[in-house]
Amino acid sequence: MREILFHFFAALTIVPAFFVATSRKPVNAAMNMMVSFVGLAALFVLLETYFLAILQILVYAGAIVVLFLFIIMLIDAGSSPHPRLLRFLASLAAFALMVFAGYYLVFGGGAGPFAEITAEAPGYLSRTFGVSLFTTYLLPFQMTGFMLLIAMVGVIVLSRRFESDETGGEQ
């Protein structure tokens, strides 16, 4: 049962990702990305990391994709032309190289024998997260808070309108 679920959700992650990379309309790409993130969240659930699965939906699929859609709307990006053949083939070659390298690494024994799953399923509850976050990893936690603040301030500064932009787009 588990295997079927894994394969299904893996496909749900990979296939839309492929469409993200090749869609000519940005909106299509954004929607595909959302589906891909949902698939990813499902994989997290399979890995019994429920907390992070929900977080993934909330932040990634919820906030980030929405942000993308807002900007697409703002910029009014149209559809892109077909990519040129040479570029496509070169990128495909790079893709193939990476996949083969990865395949060799993972399945060819290059990275050594991988751990077996242990019987115990930890569940990774939010409580466990909280304990570690507020004791051992307090510093990174606080720094992340600062980072969010900085990002917010940065965004506000960057979106400020300058005199030369008066002739630009809309509000």
Partner 1 sequence: MELGTVLSIILLAPLVSAGLIWMFARQRAALAMTLSLGAAGVILLCSGWLFFGLWDGSSYEVGTEWLTLGSFKLSVGFLLNDLSALMLFIVAFVGFWIHLFSVGYMNDDGARGRFFGGLSIFMFSMLGIVLADNLFMMFIFWELVGFSSYMLIGHYLHTDEAAQAAKKAFIVNRVGDFGFLIGIIMAYWTFGTVSLTELEQVAGIRPEAVTTLMGLLLFCGVLGKSAQMPLHVWLPDAMAGPTPISALIHAATMVAAGVYFLGRSFFLFTEEALLIVAWVGVVTAVSAALWAFAQRDIKKILAYSTLSQLGYMVAGFGLGTLYGLHHAGDSQTALYYGIGASMFHLTTHAFFKALLFLGSGSVIHACHHEQDIFKMGGLYKTMPLTTLTFAAGVIAIAGVPFIAAGFFSKDAILYVAKSTSAPAFYLLTGTALLTALYMGRLFFIAFLGKPKSKAAGKAHESPWTIVLPLVVLAVFSIGGGYLVMYPPSLQVLIHDWVPHPHGADHQLMIIISAVASIVGLVLARVIYGAGAKTDKLETTLPPVYAISKSRFYFDEIYLLYVKKVQDRLADIIGFLDTLVISGVLVRGTAGAAGLLGIMARRLHTGSVSTYVWWFFVGLVLFGAYAGGFLEGILK
Partner 2 sequence: MTIGLEHYLFVSVLLFAIGFFGVLLRKNTLVVFMCLELMLSAAILALIAFSRYNTTPGAPLMEGNLFVLFIIAIAACEVAVGLAIIVALWRRHQTVELDEITELKH
DSSP symbols for 87-155:
HHHHHHHHHHHHHHHHHHHHHSSTT-PPPPPPS------HHHHHHHHHTTTHHHHHHHHHHHHHHHHHH
Nearer to partner 1 (CB atom), residue 105 or residue 147? 105
Per partner kind, with CB cut-offs from 5 to 8 A, the member of partner 1, partner 2, none near residue 110 is: partner 1
The smaller minimum CB distance to partner 1, of residues 98 and 149, is found at 98
- Closest listed residue to residue 95, CA positions, set 17, 149, 6: 17
**Residue 5 interacts with partner 1 (CB under 8 A): yes or no:** no
Torsion of CA 32, 66, 41, 132, to 10 degrees: 150
By rule CB under 8 A, what string of x and - marks binding of each residue 68-97 to partner 1? ----------------------x---x--x
Least distance from partner 2 to the Cβ atom of residue 87, Å: 6
Site for partner 1 in 99-128 (CB under 8 A): 101, 110
| Site residues (vs partner 1, CB under 8 A) | 90, 94, 97, 101, 110
